[in-house]
Amino acid sequence: MSPNKELIGASTRLLILSVLAREANYGYAIIRAINQEGEGLFVWQEGTVYPILHKLEKEGLVRTQWQEADTGRKRKYYYITATGRGALATGTEDWAGFHKMITALGEGNHG
Amino acid sequence: MSPNKELIGASTRLLILSVLAREANYGYAIIRAINQEGEGLFVWQEGTVYPILHKLEKEGLVRTQWQEADTGRKRKYYYITATGRGALATGTEDWAGFHKMITALGEGNHG
DNA sequence: TTGACATACTTTGAAGTTCAAGGTATATTG
DNA sequence: CAATATACCTTGAACTTCAAAGTATGTCAA
């Protein structure tokens, strides 16, 4: 398996981990946060994000805790773990390297 | 369909178009070029790149021409079209916007 | 209290992507 | 003549993402 697949998929995970590194949050709000941040560039669906959250939990990058909101509704809060912060750091580096290469190629075309 | 999927998949296409914007080339060499550029960060397989090349041709972003090399072996050369250059330009912009957002999120975590 | 709506989580089926692997064919080299 | 590198292509499995639907609860207005 090449690391490429992971790198591409990493963008979704990275986005989620970034949001959680700022502060713990629950799924429904994470989805809204990411999509707001995207500013119309993309819209992630629930069917996309929830499974990723479950996977992140299984991998130990986040942990969860059910909490009751003031409204009385139950929310599953996601907290980033130390492992998760590590993954965010290395993932961001990989992403930067990938981006650098793409722009380098692009600059070669009109430089 | 959200534009997200295209944006992610765009990285592969972008890479190929970038290589072809520099100069026309044939499939086998394109694969080597991209993987060299990747510097171990990723390795694209033939089974990944050839289908994409076919798709780019079908969409009119590249055109092809069979040529015989000095060696006598036949090579299918890919030339980027005007449409392809346009797609490369807008694709690079989209990509930059996507990257900007990811890094913006990342900076929020330690700023 | 009933209906409509937003919140909140989850799963499913279809479509698309990528890999690993293998298949075909030709030129070079020992 | 056999092994290797070049050069193209396709296939099946695994994985991702979307669109859609399902479940449940709280709010608000009639």
Determine the pLDDT at residue A83.
94
Any idea which of A33-47, A52-66, B70-84 has the lowest mean pLDDT?
Answer: A33-47
Q: How far is A8 from chain B (nearest CA, A)?
A: 7
Residue B66's SS3 state is strand
Residue B73 to residues B34, B53, B68, B89, Cα–Cα distance (Å): 22, 20, 6, 34
| Interatomic CA–C1' length for residue A90 and nucleotide C17, angstroms | 24
Residues 6+ apart with CB under 8 A from B3: A41, A42, B94
The DSSP bridge pattern shows strands B25-26 and B74-80 to be antiparallel
Nucleotides of D under 7 A from a protein CB: 6-12, 15-21, 25-27
Chain A's closest residue to B37, CA to CA, is: A101
Would you place residue A81 in the very low, low, confident or very high pLDDT band (cuts 50, 70, 90)?
very high
Residue owning tokens 């773990």: A81
Note whether A96 contacts B105, CB cutoff 8 Å.
Answer: no
Determine the pLDDT at residue A31.
92
Q: What residues of chain B lie within 8 A of the CB of A44, using their CB?
A: 2, 4
pTM for this prediction: 0.83
Judge contact between A30 and A78, C-beta under 8 A: yes
CB atoms within 10 A of CB B5: 11
Mean pLDDT, range A41-61, rounded to an integer: 90
The DSSP bridge pattern shows strands B25-26 and A25-26 to be unpaired
Residue owning tokens 């479950």: A54
Residue ranges of E strands in B5-58: 25-26
CB atoms within 10 A of CB B79: 13
Taking C1' of C22 and every protein CA, the nearest residue is B47
Q: Is the per-residue pLDDT at B89 higher than 60?
A: yes
